[in-house]
Structure 1
């Protein structure tokens, strides 16, 4: 599995990991099996969050006996992001995950509590060994500038944002900001959260043609495109072991310049939006 350095952490992280949003909507045994199949296939970067219902508990079951192999990430909701609240929320996540530490802990989106408080809570957790690094999610450039001014350079591990073929807005400013400042960019919902290109559409046919040429699936082609740049990672979610293995295979897929150009044409990034898209 292709791995890259995760922001300033020095940790090598698989470019394709496993998301867990809504994984609790699937049959539990199947969800656990899918996560384990993904781990076996090299997707050892697992992302979850306190607001994902039973997801942390499912992850905890799936990773039993495998913790040392993993890069484990969770998130705190903004309502809990005071200095003390961050610590309490993290400790609760650790209990659900059945582990003593997270590799990275994220603020799920910008909130009303002072960001200085949140960063102080993250640093308290890091010094206590309960997290190895911290990052952000759904942060636009203005918010990223503020976080960088508070934390200083080489503290923000990643920014996790919405990124799929139909939503490439982050390429305008957020992705360049992350690249300049050594912050990893992790794209969530890479299949569009139920809105993957229709096979009968021009874009769907283009993906299918590329997939046939490489002996893979249109989903794998999408993942390869979204991780084509050195600073990018993605975290697809699936409740099916076979799909997990297919997703992992995308890390070895190398798209040609002509294929990248075709995908760019079929799924243009469009104009820069006034606000950062998020789910």
Structure 2
């Protein structure tokens, strides 16, 4: 494990605590958080995964994103154990299955998540993706959860422009605070229209998979000479440059996943990297922004 001295921990904590993204309701949330997809599924990795999450909190990455879908509740249970005694320090986000997002079923789904997480409320509750339940019923359920104090605010995930237009046309749909979508240097489709749509309405993007999921895309990103040169320039890892690229935009929240403390530290330290104009030009040339409408990337 990387040996981190006290001064480094404190400087990272201060930097990540300072970096906030503002929501339509006037509140703010941490810009750099921690994702938990696949965490909690392997009992042999449980202790290390808990240490990784707790180190992230210590380093100022106090936003933790989970979902009832992740490991069929195992991720929420892991998070609940990791944050025990530290709940007040954490900005807690979870997500509801689309088939449980009706007016009344969402109340039970949220109660289940709260029980697994060991808390009495969520800071943010998201509809994981669109299903067959009419959005008006989901919104009504979300608003009831707010009124009961079970959630402080709500948002959506994996919504494209057409979905957001429909959402905002419904009563209380404009209470949506965020849209969580896939976004990284190799998946920039949202820049064509969705990002602009949300910026005009001050609704932030939450970027999941900001380091790109394993596979061909990730290999292509990490294998690029441009990324390697920029990483060497900052004495950083290429993955840190990918993360620094995402959070250069003050309207974007990033939730990289880490299952071990070393990777958690590298993610936290990415907040200290400031890419300059030449860096951005090189990355744009190698991995250009879209010039036409693209289907929303979803994992």
How would you bin the TM-score normalised by the shorter chain? over 0.9
Following superposition, the deviation at residue 166 of structure 1 comes to 1.3
Gaps of 5+ in 2: 1-15
**Within the alignment, does 1:11 sit opposite 2:35 as a pair?**
no
Q: TM-score, normalised by structure 1?
A: 0.94
Report what 1:50 is aligned to.
Answer: 68
Contact 2:206/2:253 (<8 A) preserved: yes
Is the 1:161–1:188 contact (alpha carbons within 8 Å) kept by the matching residues of 2?
yes
Report which stretch shifted further, 206-215 or 136-145. Answer: 206-215
Matches within 5 A, 1:117-196: 117-152=137-172, 155-195=175-215, 196=218
Pick closer, same or farther for the CA change 1:151–1:73 going to 2, 3 Å.
farther
- Cross-structure match for 1:104: 124
Offset at 1:152? Answer: 4.5
Cα contact 2:52–2:258 (8 A) shared by 1: yes
After the TM superposition, which residues 1-279 of structure 1 pair with which residues of structure 2 at under 5 Å, given as runs? 1=16, 2-26=18-42, 27-53=45-71, 54-152=74-172, 155-195=175-215, 196-198=218-220, 201=223, 203=224, 205-279=225-299
Query: For the residues of structure 2 that align with 1:253 and 1:143, how far apart are their CA atoms?
Result: 34
Distance in 2, Cα, partners of 1:197 & 1:151? 44
SS of the residue 2:34 aligns to: coil
Aligned length: 277
State how far apart, in whole Å, the 2-side matches of 1:74 and 1:4 are.
19
**By how many angstroms is 1:243 displaced?**
0.8
Moved more, 78-87 or 24-33: 24-33
Judge conservation of contact 1:6–1:158 (CA < 8 Å) in 2.
Answer: no
Contact 1:153 1:181 in 2 (8 A): no
Cα distance between partner residues in 1 of 2:280 and 2:178: 25
Does the 8 Å CA contact 1:31/1:240 hold for their aligned counterparts?
yes
| SS of residue in 2 equivalent to 1:178 | helix
Q: Residue 13 of structure 1: SS of its match in structure 2?
A: strand
CA distance in 1, matches of 2:180, 2:240: 20
**Paired residue secondary structure (1:187):** strand
CA distance in 2 between counterparts of 1:6 and 1:47 reads 17
| Contact 1:74-1:102 within 8 A present in 2 as well | yes
CA distance in 2, matches of 1:98, 1:190: 28
Distance 1:189 1:220, change over 3 A: same
The change in CA–CA distance for 1:127 and 1:253 in structure 2 (over 3 A counts) is same
TM-score w.r.t. the length of structure 2 is 0.88
Q: Indicate the RMSD between aligned Cα atoms, in angstroms.
A: 1.6
